[in-house]
Amino acid sequence: MRIELAGISKVYGRKRVLDRIRLEVPAGRIVAVVGLNGAGKSTLLHCLAGLLSLSEGTIFYDDEAFTRERVDLRMRFGFLPDFPVFFNHMMPLQHIGMALRLYEKDGRGAEDRVLDLLRGFDLMPVAGTPMVALSRGQIYKVALTALIAANPELWLLDEPMASGMDALGLREFRERARTAAAAGATVIYTTQILAVAEQFSDEVIVLHRGRLHAHGPVASLHADGELESVLAGLRETA
Least distance from C-beta 19 to another protein, angstroms?
11
Pairing label, strands 211-216, 203-208: antiparallel
Measured in whole angstroms, the distance separating CA 124 from the mean position of its chain's CA atoms is: 24
Which amino acid type is present at position 163? S
Q: How far is CA 103 from CA 87, 106, 110, 184, 232, in A?
A: 18, 8, 12, 18, 42
Which CB sits closer to another protein, 143 or 218?
Answer: 143
Contact 74, 120 (CB under 8 A): no
Quick one: which of 229, 226, 189 has its CA closest to 25? 189
Least distance from C-beta 141 to another protein, angstroms?
14
Least distance from C-beta 128 to another protein, angstroms?
4
CA atoms of 29 and 27, how far apart (whole Å): 6
Least distance from C-beta 27 to another protein, angstroms?
19
Which CB sits closer to another protein, 223 or 238?
Answer: 238
Contact 192, 35 (CB under 8 A): no
Least distance from C-beta 93 to another protein, angstroms?
4
Which CB sits closer to another protein, 64 or 199?
Answer: 64
The runs of H, that is alpha helices, within 5-135 are 41-48, 71-74, 92-102, 110-120
**Residues engaged in binding another protein (CB under 8 A):** 12-17, 42, 46, 50-54, 67-71, 74-75, 79, 81-91, 93-94, 96-104, 106, 110-111, 114-115, 118, 124-129, 132-134, 209, 238
Least distance from C-beta 148 to another protein, angstroms?
15
Which CB sits closer to another protein, 118 or 218?
Answer: 118
Quick one: which of 168, 165, 40, 140 has its CA closest to 80? 140
Which CB sits closer to another protein, 27 or 90?
Answer: 90
Which CB sits closer to another protein, 34 or 118?
Answer: 118
Which amino acid type is present at position 76? R
